[in-house]
Amino acid sequence: MTYELYIGDRTFSSWSLRGWLMLKSFGIPFKSHLLGLYSGTLETDLAPFAPARQVPILKTSQGHMVFDTLAMAETLAEAHPMAGLWPEDPAQRGAARSLVAQMHSGFSALREHCPMNLQNAWEGFEVSDNLHADLAYLETLWRYAFKMSGDQDWLFGAYSLADVFFAPVAARIACYKLPVSQRAQNYVDKHLAHQDFRQWRAMGLTKHYDPVPYDMACTPAPWPGPRAIEASIAPGGPSENATCPYSGDPVTDFLSIDDRIFGFCNPFCRDKTLADPAAWPAFMAIYSAAKP
Mean pLDDT of 114-136: 97
Mean pLDDT of 141-149: 96
Residues 241, 145 share a domain: no
pLDDT of residue 69: 97
Query: Of 179, 199, 219, which residue sits at a domain end?
Result: 199
Residues 249, 157 share a domain: no
**Total domains present in the chain:** 3
Residue 56 placed within a domain: yes
Mean pLDDT of 194-201: 98
Residues 143, 112 share a domain: yes
Range of the domain at 254: 232-288
Residue 98 placed within a domain: yes
Per-residue confidence at 292, pLDDT binned at 50, 70, 90?
low
Residues 168, 122 share a domain: yes
Residue 226 placed within a domain: no
Q: Do residues 91 and 83 lie in contact, with contact meaning Cβ atoms separated by under 8 Å?
A: no
Residues 95, 38 share a domain: no
The pLDDT tens digits for 84-93 are: 999 999 999 9
The pLDDT tens digits for 159-177 are: 999 999 999 999 999 999 9
Give the residue among 7, 106, 96 at the shortest CA–CA distance from 56. 7
Distance CA 142, CA 137 (A): 9
Mean pLDDT of 135-141: 98
The pLDDT tens digits for 22-50 are: 999 999 999 999 998 888 888 899 999 99
Which helix (H) or strand (E) is 66 found in, with range? strand 65-66
Distance CA 173, CA 180 (A): 8
Q: Which residues contact 5 (CB under 8 A, 6 or more apart)?
A: 19, 20, 23, 30, 31, 32, 33, 56, 57, 58, 59
Could you give the 3-state DSSP secondary structure of residue 214? coil
Residue 225 placed within a domain: no
Residues 95, 49 share a domain: no
Per-residue confidence at 215, pLDDT binned at 50, 70, 90?
confident
